[in-house]
Structure 1
Amino acid sequence: MNLNKVCFLGAGSFGTALSVMLAKKGIEVAIWAHSNNTIEDINLRRENIKYLPNIIIPNNINAYSDMECAIKDSKIVVLAVPSHAIRDVSKKASKYINKDQILVTVAKGLENKTFKRMSEIIKEEIPISEVVVLSGPSHAEEVALDIPTTVVVASEDMNAAKIVQDVFMSNKFRVYTNSDIIGVEIGGACKNIIALAAGISDGIGYGDNTKAALMTRGMSEIIDIGVKLGGKRETFNGLTGMGDLIVTCTSMHSRNRRAGILIGEGLSAEEATEKVGMVVEGIKACRAFYELKNKDNVSMPITDTLYKVLFENKDPKYGVYELMSRDKKDEQNIE
């Protein structure tokens, strides 16, 4: 296996941005994509026009339609597809992966119905390889422009995490390790719900006070469900919890926030997703965590309200009214 070659399965914005970052370090990058147009754009025009426009693709990045060819000789294989596609792509890749290759997932979400984390799904489909999760506050647009960014990699195998740390680390892209893979994945998935709610608040026309309240109480919900599922409380105070929440709730790079703004302005979830033009993970995550919180009896009032806005046509303004009108509570003793 060649540590100087990394394969990306998926040619979305974040996978492409990470590819560009690694290529600038002199690493050979292979990208597998299912769209021939995207492959042509990368190989011939040296730009991913659909997902990461105006970023020059270095010559040591090559795109392939043949998954086996892309994976061959790569020490690290990054699954850079949306959460709902992780299982299918893992199944397709399983016949080409060997035990010496390290699998990395950058998807943030839970599988509907099973509530399984991305690393669990990959391990089920490709049990012979170690799985590492890369997560944190990292907009693709900024990573591609070499804007200083910090992320965390987590795994059950810390040796695998450290190899990924070494390969991805640069003076513009700082990588920490963390052994709490559950906490890292739950933080990355659940914060999209709060970002969507923050966007709706912006779309309605509410201010910074409202967003600060949503982020603060939303962080509490993330911690409560994360600890219930086996994550460590301190993980959620780090990059994949608080860090990711801040960047996703406040930036127009965030597709979750952008979709939320459109919903707050009166569009349906489907219309907002179509207008954003990319997968809005917060919508899928809201359904999964709503069902999960009911199953595990965890109080998540923001998630509960957002679910009703997205899937039961509740008026967002009335949802905020209900949240503000709940019974009085003590902040130090909230259940």
Structure 2
Amino acid sequence: MTAPPAPSPLETVAVIGAGAMGTCCAKLIAENGHRVRLWARTPEHAEAIWRKGENRRLLPGVRLPDSLEVTADAARAADGADRLLIAVPTKYLRDCLTDLAPQLPAGVPALSVVKGIEFGSFRRPSEIVRETLGDRPVTALGGPCHAEEAAKRLPASVVAASDTPGDAEAVQRLMNSDRFRVYTNDDLVGVELAGALKNVIAVAAGICDGLGLGDNSKSALITRGAAEIARFGAAFGADPQTFAGLAGIGDLITSCVSQHGRNRAVGERLGRGEPASAVTEDQPKVAEGVNTVRSVLPLAEERGVRMPVCREVYAVLFEHKPAADTVDALMTRPPGGE
């Protein structure tokens, strides 16, 4: 029997971003006995979370530990921090960290729960962290973990990946509990790419739901989507085994079937015939797949990676292609070997 990880020495953690996942992680770490300060972008949001004892807008009904401090003052949040936890959507990540950089400590390790690829620069979240905050150990957390469930202590398993020896294990000790199991991995590139691309496939899965195509088609789509993700990752040096694990197929399944999946919800509305502009503009939570697909396709074309599912998602979102037409496009492709 494998022994559980040794308890982590008590740390001070600054959580940058009070969205659903940032709030969830802050709760989990505080419940492990660590000192946690949660930074919210506006004083109004910070005040509402602190006063109500919950993030009622994004995690209603989830009571936060009394020890959890919430603030809109980044310098206060980061004071004495042993680790930064970054939970800002990719679309806003660079601008947010650039603004906060003078108030955040240099050199301390960072844990990213961001899942996306920056449009234009094609940077992964860990690369953006290092470019804006300076060189430091960065670990990425991946795997099937909807904040709505993990925050309620429903069992979840994730993977922490780092290119800095020992840092993933430090995150494992920080977050592991009887309801939140953390594995480790040294494939930072693979875990980040898996976390980004699964959002695109989840949009496609939602389109299947919106069109009422049934279980056979959705299962096939998830399987072929997993193959696209693995091909893309291999082209950028990721370990193929990563995509068969929690960060790959595990996160993909959850994102494609869960009622909590915001990318799947976007796809479902597209499948029902709503225009892409309306669907993407009124989402209360950021659907990362919408921006990620714009980054993925140029990179795939540059490396000669075939990504037919992602290509059809892009066409629906940005080329006004009717969602129903994607079925014929995918099903009438020349047959070939699996």
Q: Normalization by structure 2: what TM-score? A: 0.94
Aligned length: 330
Alpha carbon RMSD of aligned pairs, Å?
1.3
Aligned twin of 1:282: 289
Distance 1:69 1:121 in 2: 23
Give the alignment of 1:1-335 within 5 angstroms: 3-331=10-338
Identity %: 39
Distance 2:76 2:68 in 1: 14
CA positional deviation for 1:6? 1.3
Any unmatched runs of 5+ in structure 2?
1-8
Aligned AA for 2:12? K
Q: Is the 8 A contact 1:106 1:133 kept in 2?
A: yes
CA positional deviation for 1:305? 1.0
Deviations 1:100-152 (A, max 9, x none): 52111111011111111111111112223211111110000111110111111
SS of the residue corresponding to residue 55 of structure 1 reads: coil
Distance 1:199 1:95 in 2: 41
Distance 1:277 1:269 in 2: 15
Q: Is the 8 A contact 2:222 2:256 kept in 1?
A: yes
Q: Normalization by structure 1: what TM-score? A: 0.95
Distance 1:307 1:273 in 2: 13
Aligned AA for 2:21? F
Distance 1:23 1:66 in 2: 19
Distance 1:97 1:131 in 2: 15
Aligned AA for 1:246? I
Deviations 1:259-286 (A, max 9, x none): 1111111112232234431111011111
SS of the residue corresponding to residue 29 of structure 1 reads: strand
Any unmatched runs of 5+ in structure 1?
none
Distance 2:105 2:11 in 1: 17
Q: Is the 8 A contact 1:197 1:260 kept in 2?
A: yes
CA positional deviation for 1:99? 4.5
Aligned AA for 2:34? I
Aligned AA for 2:163? E
Distance 2:133 2:183 in 1: 25
Q: 1:3 to 1:100 in 2, by over 3 A?
A: farther
Poorly superposed stretches of 4+, deviation over 6 Å: none
Q: Is the 8 A contact 2:10 2:33 kept in 1?
A: no
